[in-house]
Amino acid sequence: MQAIAQAQAGDLIYIPGQVTTLLGREHGQPYVILDVSGPVFRGDSGEMRRPNTSEVSGTPLLPLWVSERLSYVDAMTSIVGVRP
């Protein structure tokens, strides 16, 4: 969470099998752009949901899950700053 707090828009976030880009924040919530053909979301009541889609989407980072036990944030291997 500390790394996410320090990340800036445009930074690349590496997760095994996935690279996302931090779009920015809205009301403190980090948003990323990613291929949503396979992410898992934890719903408001705690259930795990996998949308049936194959698109690119801007979405909040914190509700994303790699699996039922591993969040995207916990799966991150690195954040790389991309600056002009």
Per-residue pLDDT tens over the stretch 36-78: 665 677 778 888 777 666 678 888 999 888 888 999 999 999 9
Beta bridge partners of 74: none
Classify strands 18-26 and 12-15 as parallel, antiparallel or unpaired: antiparallel
Q: Domains in the chain: how many in total?
A: 1
Specify whether the CB–CB gap between 15 and 7 falls below 8 A.
no
Sequence-distant (6+) residues with CB within 8 A of 16 are 66, 75, 77
Specify whether the CB–CB gap between 83 and 21 falls below 8 A.
no
Note down the domain range covering 44.
2-80
pTM: 0.73
Tell me the per-residue pLDDT of 5-17, one tens digit each, with 9 for 90 and over.
Answer: 999 999 999 998 8
